[in-house]
Amino acid sequence: MPKTLSTIFPGVLPDLLIDDLKLVFCGTAPSRRSAQDKAYYAHPGNLFWPTLFAAGFLPQRLQAAEYPLLLKYAIGLTDLNKQQSGVDATLDKDCFDSQALREKILFYHPKILAFTSKYAASQFYGRSKLEYGPQAESIADTRIWVLPSTSGNARPHWARLKHYWYQLGDCY
């Protein structure tokens, strides 16, 4: 097997990354359900999959188990914490590997890196004061976005924040 960054950083869920993707979504870590099902954003209460379709990233709605099909649409997936699963409050902050994510982005060259929660982005940047939407910083030529969480735990805020997903969908 050739050595790739996915074999160097295997994780709870394998990265879904190839060269020259349009977009890579990065979460904090898989939920327990995602780890159990071996599929990204697998909990039925998570709005990730319906939002990808509704915001125009995909021509049809996919199920979590179909996540490898995202490559067909030039979309990849990874997590900042590749060693653990669970809700953010239970994760060991020492397992968030910003440097590994930066190396993956430099290696694969996606056009956009989108964090699927402000918490993931704040762990990457090492600061809590972040705005949603496009960021001033980039990684080489990769633009960075911060999106609101699609987790069921974030549902109370979803109605007023989901427009950021649609805004990114318009850029995609």
pLDDT in tens, 72-125: 999 999 999 888 777 777 777 777 888 999 999 999 999 999 999 999 999 999
Beta-bridge partners for 115: 26, 146
Angle at 169 between CA 163 and CA 172, to 5 degrees: 150
Cβ neighbors of 44 (< 8 A, separation 6 or more) are none
- 3-state SS of the chain: helix, strand, coil percent to 5? 40, 15, 45
The model scores a pTM over 0.95: no
Instruction: Report the pLDDT value the prediction gives residue 54, as an integer from 0 to 100.
Output: 97
Read off the CATH number of the domain in which 74 is found. 3.40.470.10
Domain that residue 164 falls in: 5-171
Mean pLDDT of the chain: 90
Count of the separate structural domains present in the chain: 1
